[in-house]
Amino acid sequence: MRMASFTLSLLLAAALCRAGDRPAARFYASGDPKKAEFALTFDDGPGYITGDLLKLLEKKGAKATFFMLGTSVRAHPEKARAVAAAGHMVCSHTDSHLLWVKEARKKGYELRLEEELARSAASIEKAAGVRPAVLRMPNGYDKPWVRLVAGKLGYTLVNWTYGSDWTKQSEEKMDEGYLKALQPGAILLMHDGGGKGRVKDLKLVELILDEAVRKGLKPVRVDELLGLRAQGK
């Protein structure tokens, strides 16, 4: 059994180190379960609720992480700037939220991802004044080739422990799921991108933060949760 596990590890390492032994990006979906910390993360923004979300986070004394789309940043540069100015972490969610399950079947898909990341990074840096070093792929898409491309460009990949705000379940069921997932080391996924339908996330965030106080958990940025080098340093 140990030999089979060792062989599998060697095969995975070989896959991740192809193409000239480029280092693959580090990948995380949770933090240290022994530390009383967790991370609130928001995808697809900036969007309709971003301004109100920033006010809520400030009121609660919480820091969060925003995985921004280049298209959304170009549409709302002032909101991207406000996120960074408030001390939250700004990360990349690529430029246009392509469906990579399909894109990866097309010729030149690796270059396409590099181009997506370059456009996103340029837009974020222009609007928010920071160069993103953490990436979350659309739909959490994760393959060895993605880690290689991300590593080549200096990114760390971060997915999530729990998220369900895009599903059709009731708000009560959704709230229940997030509160159950609120544990040390958790990375919770929600969305600030989109229209008025995201207002429900404001109620959810407040519910989570109130419960975090009761559980003695501190909401921190992803770089702090994972021990990454702080953005801008």
Q: Note the residue count of the chain.
A: 233
Residue 191 among the catalytic residues: yes
Q: Model confidence at 231, in pLDDT bands (50, 70, 90)? A: low
Q: Which of 93, 191, 192, 223 is catalytic?
A: 191
pLDDT band at 43 (very low <50, low <70, confident <90, very high): very high
Catalytic pick among 43, 95, 175, 223 = 43
Q: 134-135 and 27-28 as β-strands: parallel, antiparallel, unpaired?
A: unpaired
When pLDDT is cut at 50, 70 and 90, the band that residue 20 belongs to is very low
Closest by CA position to 91, among listed 26, 36, 24, 43: 43
- pLDDT digits 0-9 by tens, 122-151: 999 999 999 999 999 999 999 999 999 999
Concerning whether 97 is annotated as a catalytic residue, the answer is: no
pLDDT at 229: 74
In the predicted model, is pLDDT for residue 164 greater than 90?
yes
- pLDDT (0 to 100) of residue 1: 41
Cα–Cα dist 220/40, whole Å:
7
Q: What is the overall mean pLDDT for the chain?
A: 91
